[in-house]
Structure 1
């Protein structure tokens, strides 16, 4: 049994309050024998029990099967572009997550460094090995870096929200 595929364009639509009737027409000439005719593409929301098939000539329709058939890739240019954009957004979301994790580690490192350095500077000040200006410079440097890191994390959180909204 051979399979023939036909494109059946829409030739009429009647809209009812609870449904719509879509009429498609396509044609194919078949030699005598058993044949399978595939009509595609049809909408995914199609009610399987609503299909009606007819033919002209010495034809007998033995049955109608409705089966979902998926292509590996869409042929619709708009769908292809949307899929490409979805992949880009997903990649960017991953990148934002990675950058945020690095910033989180940087903040933890700076916090631990400041905690450990506090005791070291206290001993150095008591021994006269460090000047108060050195402690102030170190403290200002660490707090400035922490503030910048937290600002970057806030920016990353905003970007993550924007990307998630666009992806949705």
Structure 2
């Protein structure tokens, strides 16, 4: 696994595409992260993985890189870690064996599955008096006591009377 590789979290049933931004020379038992002010090892968060598994730092594409640093695709892989930090991209550290590297064909297939311009959709829904908020890469939209979760692929979770009009709006912002 190398910096710049596209990866998926094998523990996630619906994983988001991530990019390796740093491969520290340390096992997960020695690599620490700070979560909500608490410092702990990556091994503590991943007890089912070997303590000597290498640590791998990633940034998620939709919720991190594309949202905070659109120019990341033009950056040399060796500069991804520093650039992600400079652009306030949230980074996550995993055991290497928890990630799977995707080949180019799999990346293209995931990206061509249909993507929603989430920022434009969010603005449109807010203008239409929806309450909107981001939950990771998912847009949570509420109106008339109904809540919907809109995924970057255009999939919508939730049922109610205003789902059909919402689907029409989402379709307008889907590639």
Structure 2-normalised TM-score?
0.19
Structure 1-normalised TM-score?
0.19
Q: Counting strand residues as a fraction of each chain, which structure ranks higher?
A: 2
